[in-house]
Amino acid sequence: MRMARYDDLIQRYENPIENACDMREGQVFLADGWQKPEGFCDSAWDTLSPFVMTLACGGENISTTGG
């Protein structure tokens, strides 16, 4: 896992979250199909789960850019 913090974007939001997740850089999570791994951030899982499901079903060439 890689984490990034964008203070300029945090300042733009009305209710900034100082610590959205308690995950640590370098952690490894194993997903069992569509099941969210224990300890995985709910917000991050909501974003990643469609990609995880695609991979779990044999999908390939996943792109987040629409291309």
Residue 33 is assigned to a structural domain of this protein: yes
- In which residue are the tokens 């569509």 written? 34
Residue 64 is assigned to a structural domain of this protein: no
Residue 29 is assigned to a structural domain of this protein: yes
Query: What integer pLDDT is reported at residue 67 of this predicted model?
Result: 47
Domain containing residue 48:
7-56
Query: What integer pLDDT is reported at residue 62 of this predicted model?
Result: 76
CA neighbor of 4 nearest in space, from 21, 48, 37: 21
Please name the residues in contact with 29: beta carbons below 8 A apart, sequence gap of 6 or more.
1, 37, 39, 40
Q: How far apart are CA 9 and CA 29, in angstroms?
A: 27
Alpha helix segments (H runs only) across 1-67: 7-12, 42-56
Residue 15 is assigned to a structural domain of this protein: yes
What is the residue-level pLDDT of the chain in tens, covering all 67 positions?
Answer: 667 778 887 777 766 566 667 777 788 888 777 788 888 888 788 888 888 888 888 888 777 655 4
Residue 36 is assigned to a structural domain of this protein: yes
Residue 1 is assigned to a structural domain of this protein: no
